[in-house]
Amino acid sequence: MSTALFLAQAGGGKPLTALWIILGYLALLMLLGGAASLFFRGTSKDYFVASRSIGPFLLLMSVFGTTMTGFALVGSTAKSFELGIGVYGLMASWSGLVHSAVFFLVGIRLWAIGKRYNYMTQVQFFRDRFQSEFLGYVLFAILVALVVPYLLVGIIAACKTIQPITAGMFPETFAGVPHPVKAGVMMFKGAIPPWLTALVICGVVLFYVFFGGIRSAAWANTFQTLVFMVMGVVTFTLIAKAMGGLAAASEKVLEVSPKHAGREGMIGQLHFLSYIFIPLSVGMFPHLFQHWLTARSAKTFRLTVIAHPVFIAIVWIPCVLIGMWAAGLAAAGELSVPNANAVLGRMVASLVESHVLTGLLTAGILAAIMSSLDSQFVCLGTMFTNDVVVRLTGPGRFTDRQLVWLARGFVVFVVAISYALSMALLTTNVFNLGVWCFSGFAALFPLVFAALYWKRTTRAGAIACILTTAAVWLVLILDALVWIPAENPAERIFGHIHRGEYLIKGLDVMPVAAMFLASVVSLVVVSLATKPLPAATIDKFFEPRAAGGSGDPS
């Protein structure tokens, strides 16, 4: 709170009411996370998987909160500002169907196997399933490399939300940022700068996950999910009212920018269809895997499978519509937006007149952002401890208490690295960064599906799948961001940029489609060409109890 006191003393511009509400929310979140840590049993099992004691409601809220990040709120609003209402179909419609199917087909089976063999991480399952230390280390490195950009999505989204909300609060303290187009013009004068926002957000999340582990994350996620769902609906209602109602706001878009009100002309058919692969990423999220392991029984998943699509609609519909309306205001010259990431913050700051409501709405946005950061921080600490330290030193080298402290130390390291990277990539489009991250996880989905359902999958096939996915992902992202001739940025080797998004040349599909196809082909071809795993290994993972059948300990 010393930061708040400093800011209050340095103020003198716009009232600080909204800021105090935001700080109050963060303090309440720290208290809740601290309260959850009081139930910490002192064991690594409790720190990593909450002693497998989480019930249906907490599981639903923690899983949904973990999947709804700054990508969902800030990112979807930004993308609909660019591409229009069709963004809802790109992600929300597919996600509502695919996520629940993955929870049912993959999540419950992995929970059953994880409980039976006492797994704490995703890598432990794959290492045992394919009897390969090499596979375990390679997969660990790739998963960490994909989770870090996911972390950056949340941190950058938080910075871009707070900046427009606090503009004008501290005119004597913070100078603002240069306008991206108008030379010599400063924007967001007196706003809290990104470096301070990121520092506070990372510090708050680090506080409660450091002491309480995954249990604190589950409690905090439940609270935060309720907050951002309620405040999301309130935000939508207030913005719609300020624009004259739902019909008036949409009619304005039809008048000044009709393409934003329809899919045709903004999003191609194959482009649209290729997005179906993106939601498959949840099957390989290591932080989601860890939440699945916390479930008390297989029946605990029922509420999550049923309610998740409904929750997605409640969150995404308002965000996509707000982004579309913002495009109409911008086209009419009534809204100035420095970059797409700032759209949601600008709409709240411009159209919500009450400072109290602005503070509450911003707290709701931060709740969605932070509900993923905590799970990801704990997950990385868990993976480092169990998949690297314990494997290299042996299971008896460290006490249970020492394992917890090793995980905490790595969490602090990850937070520091994430903070530094977020400051270097502040101008990156949150939605596009998220899509690249999800594409990598989605391309690995054939691995987990085959591991659970195809007995003929071999060790070599699994390794080929992982390495092929990593190679194709790296080549395509380099083509999109690095291998660009200075004299003509449009000249790329494999793809081109369409309305700010990288698509494969010729087909105009998302890069995830190419990654997924390469992943499947390498997995199947190499598995069929190599020797099957021993029958004992296959039986260990395909007998009824391991597969969640009649012998499943639910």
pLDDT, tens only, 464-515: 999 999 999 999 988 887 776 655 666 778 888 777 778 888 888 889 999 9
> For 59-121, where are the E strands, in sequence order?
none
> 398 lies in a domain?
yes
> 157 lies in a domain?
yes
The encoded tokens of residue 515 equal 């990654």
CATH number for the domain that contains residue 411: 1.20.1730.10
Name the pLDDT band for 62 (thresholds 50, 70, 90).
confident
If you average pLDDT over each of 92-96, 210-214, 292-296, 457-461, which comes out highest?
Answer: 457-461
> 547 lies in a domain?
no
Average pLDDT rounded to a whole number, residues 334-352: 75
pLDDT value of position 552: 42
**Backbone φ/ψ region at 213: left (φ over 0), alpha (ψ -120 to 50), beta:** left
How many CA atoms lie less than 13 Å away from 127 in the CB half-sphere? 20
**Backbone φ/ψ region at 131: left (φ over 0), alpha (ψ -120 to 50), beta:** left
CA distances to 194, 198, 447 from 423, in Å: 7, 8, 34
For the stretch 376-410, pLDDT in tens is: 888 888 898 889 888 888 877 888 888 889 888 88
Say how many domains are in the chain: 1
For the stretch 199-240, pLDDT in tens is: 998 888 888 888 888 888 888 888 888 887 888 788 888 888
Report which of 388, 46, 442 is spatially closest to residue 274, judged by C-alpha positions. Answer: 442
> 552 lies in a domain?
no
Tell me the Cα Rg of the chain.
23
Sign of the dihedral through C-alpha 37, 42, 45, 48: positive
Which residue segment(s) compose the domain that 6 sits in?
2-542
Furthest C-alpha separation in the chain: 73
> 553 lies in a domain?
no
> 379 lies in a domain?
yes
The Cα–Cα gap between 79 and 349 comes to 19
- In three-state secondary structure terms, 177 is strand
The encoded tokens of residue 22 equal 């935001």
Q: Would strands 177-178 and 186-187 be described as parallel, antiparallel, or unpaired?
A: antiparallel
The pLDDT mean for the chain works out to 82
Residues 69, 205: contact at Cβ < 8 Å?
A: no
> 169 lies in a domain?
yes
**pTM to 2 decimal places:** 0.82
Average pLDDT rounded to a whole number, residues 372-377: 82
> 65 lies in a domain?
yes
The DSSP secondary-structure symbol of 244 reads T
pLDDT of 549 > 50? The answer is no
Q: In this structure, which long-range contacts are made by residues 495-500, counting pairs with CB atoms below 8 Å and at least 24 apart in sequence? A: 498/268, 498/271, 499/82, 499/83, 499/266, 500/82, 500/340, 500/429, 500/432
